[in-house]
């Protein structure tokens, strides 16, 4: 069901189409009762929008003659950026198709006709290589509540639904909001457990802002905490490798959600990887392009040597057709 603010905006759109609209017709279009329609009209009047009441059998509401909201004036770059951003947001799964499409339609309606036609041509011919993600959008009101609580240093209470379907009460100090792989995540301190946690925003139920305040630790980075937590999560195999390279080079080569890199003795780093299987680890380590030693598990050494042999055999194969 649409939010009250969305319905007020929808009412304004209907009135801008011209003519007098009966209250019962407006109520049907907005899916509310007639009393609510009158309250929405009062909101518009408070915003200095001249809505006139027409009395009589065929009465209702209409806008003052000649009134029209000014067109949205955007440059070519601004119009393309705005509508392309909405397209990418929908493709990423971070927003529902209905919300993004509705926003696109509203922007196109208020753009000057030549600009709207040019942007529509771009959207019609645009093809994106990024994969379409299944939408798991978070509730907008929840996102805004968390963002304001993080800004103002206020605790948030909510029920949280786990992957098993069990609900638990939480009191949470939100330090930041992170987007990762099509999901909205909130990172901060779980007050009950006294530890840093990351919660999926779409699994929060009935969030509410509390009066109690908190102080965010100096230097805390929500994104680093989230990706580091993903890399450090316990899995079947724990891999520890020493590599002869710099921490900067190793972090630039290995995904932060896969490997945790730390300084070791001068000229060496320690790399920790948690994996459900080991078959993909040797090719990943080969990307380092430097000397490395597997500390654990010892069974991984055999996989690394087997990869090396396969590469040597492949490089010594027959010459490709057409070579002299």
pLDDT of the residue at 118:
82
At 1 the pLDDT is 41
Low-confidence ranges of the chain (pLDDT < 50): 1
Cis peptide before 236 (omega within 30 of 0): no
CATH 3.20.20.80 fits 4-63, yes or no: no
Given this model, what pLDDT does residue 6 score? Answer: 75
pLDDT at 170 (0 to 100)? 96
- CATH of segment(s) 140-224: 2.30.30
pLDDT of amino acid 182: 79
Confidence at residue 69, expressed as pLDDT on a 0 to 100 scale: 65
Amino acid 323: pLDDT: 56
Three-state DSSP class for residue 216 = coil
* Nearest alpha-carbon partner for 255 in 176, 181, 308: 181
pLDDT at 135: 58
Q: How many CA within 13 A on the CB side of residue 152?
A: 14
> What CA–CA distance (Å, rounded) separates 31 from 37?
10
Question: What is the per-residue pLDDT for 75?
Answer: 72
Total length of the chain: 324
Q: What is the pLDDT of residue 122?
A: 81
CA distance 101 to 190: 36
Residue 132 has a pLDDT of: 61
CATH architecture of 234-314: 2-Layer Sandwich (3.30)
């Amino acid at each position: 069901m649409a939010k009250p603010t969305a319905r007020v905006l929808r009412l304004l759109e209907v009135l801008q189409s011209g003519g007098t609209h009966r209250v019962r017709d407006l109520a049907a279009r907005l899916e509310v009762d007639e009393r609510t329609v009158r309250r929405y009209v009062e909101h518009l009047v408070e915003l200095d929008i001249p809505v006139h009441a027409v009395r009589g059998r065929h009465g209702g509401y209409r806008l003052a003659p000649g009134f029209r909201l000014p067109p949205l004036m955007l440059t070519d770059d601004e119009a393309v950026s705005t509508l392309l951003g909405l397209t990418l947001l929908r493709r990423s799964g971070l927003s529902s198709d209905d919300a993004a499409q509705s926003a696109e339609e509203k922007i196109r309606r208020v753009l000057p006709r030549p600009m709207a036609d040019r942007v529509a041509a771009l959207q019609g011919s645009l093809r994106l290589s990024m994969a379409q993600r299944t939408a798991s959008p978070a509730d907008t009101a929840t996102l805004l509540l968390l963002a304001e609580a993080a800004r103002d240093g206020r605790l948030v209470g909510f029920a949280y639904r786990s992957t098993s379907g069990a609900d638990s009460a939480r009191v949470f100090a939100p330090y930041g909001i992170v987007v990762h792989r099509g999901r909205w995540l909130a990172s901060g301190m779980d007050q009950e457990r006294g530890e840093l946690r990351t919660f999926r925003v779409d699994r929060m139920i009935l969030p509410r802002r509390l009066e109690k305040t908190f102080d965010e630790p100096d230097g805390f980075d929500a994104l680093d905490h989230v990706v580091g937590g993903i890399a450090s999560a316990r899995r079947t195999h724990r891999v520890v490798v020493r590599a002869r390279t710099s921490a900067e080079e190793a972090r630039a080569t290995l995904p932060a959600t896969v490997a945790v890199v730390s300084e070791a003795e001068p000229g060496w780093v320690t790399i920790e990887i948690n994996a459900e299987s080991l078959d993909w680890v040797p090719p990943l380590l080969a990307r380092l392009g430097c000397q490395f030693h597997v500390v654990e598990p010892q069974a991984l050494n055999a996989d690394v040597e087997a990869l090396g042999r396969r590469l040597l055999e492949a490089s010594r194969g027959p010459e490709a057709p057409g070579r002299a």
